[in-house]
Amino acid sequence: MWIGQVAQVVSIALRTTVQYELGGKAVVQSRPHSPSEVGRKTGRFAFVTQRVTATPVTNPAPCRSRCLSHVQARCLSVLVVGCSLWTLTSSLWHYPHSLAYFNELAGGPRRGAEHLLNSNIDWGQDLLHLERWIRSQPGNEPVFLAFDNYYNPFVLEIPRIAPWPLRSGHKAVLEGKPNDNVLTIPEGYYAISANQLYEFPWPLRDRDGTQYHLDLRPMEALRAMEPVGWVGYSIRIYTASQMTAAYQP
């Protein structure tokens, strides 16, 4: 019987633990007792259980770092979700004119041509929207078109559109000496592609398909004016009086 008791004491002694409380957490380390920790009492073996309480080591840096990382991760998640929702809402708001879309940080699609031109703005996607705009306007004034694309817009037979009358190579001026070639601005609307307005070097087409370039002299002044109409975001519409003002020195 005493052999069983001895075996039990040895087993317990080998499994006795010393608990260190560090930073509020119990760290359990197993070690065997030394012989001095085991004594005799009333003819039986007894063992001593030792509990050592160490001074807590206070080091808030790891905890603070973990908390900061958690806050940063949450903020990043909120930022990503917010930006995604903003982009989605802004893009859908400007549908179906998505080709010329620029977000609000770039000034929106109306200022997109200040950043990029050519196929980033105009693939001819707004030509049929121009037809709708023309049909919504009263009267029969012509709409002089500077259309920037590979194909001839006149094959669509859109009512009231006419070739752009103010072409490059013209030396005419609004006012001059009696012998000067005086420029005449025909009455009507002037619908111009953003590419042409920002002087992208692309030829236009006459009714018969002949290519020509428009007169770039008034473009800088036109860019500073508010057009009377927008067709999508690739075509802006001006009046004859605005064209006249743009040619003023």
State pLDDT tens for residues 219-231. 999 999 999 999 9
Per the DSSP assignment, residues forming a β-bridge with 19 are: 28
Structural domain contains residue 55:
no
Q: Is there a single domain that holds both residue 122 and residue 240?
A: yes
Q: Which residue has the higher pLDDT, 112 or 223?
A: 223
Dist CA 109 CA 96 (whole Å): 12
Q: Is there a single domain that holds both residue 8 and residue 128?
A: no
What does each C-alpha distance from 214 to 9, 55, 197, 205 come to in angstroms? 106, 87, 10, 10
Q: Which pLDDT score is estimated for 1? A: 45
Q: Which pLDDT score is estimated for 213? A: 93
How many domains are there within the chain? 2
Dist CA 139 CA 119 (whole Å): 33
Token couple for 223 = 């860019």
pLDDT in tens, 9-37: 445 444 443 333 333 343 444 444 444 44
pLDDT in tens, 74-85: 888 888 888 888
The mean pLDDT of 210-215, rounded to a whole number, is 92
Q: Which pLDDT score is estimated for 74? A: 85
CB-based contact 122:194 (threshold 8 Å): yes
Structural domain contains residue 155:
yes
Q: Any idea how long the chain is?
A: 249
CB-based contact 32:17 (threshold 8 Å): no
Dist CA 198 CA 179 (whole Å): 32
Express as a percent the part of the chain with pLDDT over 90: 39
Q: Are strands 161-163 and 204-205 parallel, antiparallel or unpaired?
A: unpaired
Does residue 236 have a pLDDT over 70?
A: yes
Q: By mean pLDDT, which of 30-44, 192-206, 217-231, 235-249 is the weakest? A: 30-44
Q: Is there a single domain that holds both residue 35 and residue 156?
A: no
Token couple for 21 = 């409380």
The mean pLDDT of 68-91, rounded to a whole number, is 84
The mean pLDDT of 203-216, rounded to a whole number, is 92
Token couple for 70 = 């958690």
DSSP state of 40: E
Beta strands in 170-222 (DSSP E): 189-193, 204-205, 211-212
Structural domain contains residue 215:
yes
Structural domain contains residue 179:
yes
DSSP state of 113: G
Q: Look up the domain containing 211 and give its range.
A: 116-246
Structural domain contains residue 144:
yes
Structural domain contains residue 97:
no
Q: Is there a single domain that holds both residue 220 and residue 133?
A: yes
Residue bearing tokens 């119990």: 26
Q: How confident is the model at residue 44 (pLDDT cuts 50, 70, 90)?
A: very low
pLDDT in tens, 145-199: 999 888 899 999 999 999 999 988 765 555 555 445 567 899 999 999 999 999 9
Token couple for 137 = 């306007």
Dist CA 63 CA 68 (whole Å): 8
The mean pLDDT of 113-130, rounded to a whole number, is 90
Q: Which pLDDT score is estimated for 50? A: 45
Express as a percent the part of the chain with pLDDT over 70: 67
Dist CA 93 CA 3 (whole Å): 88
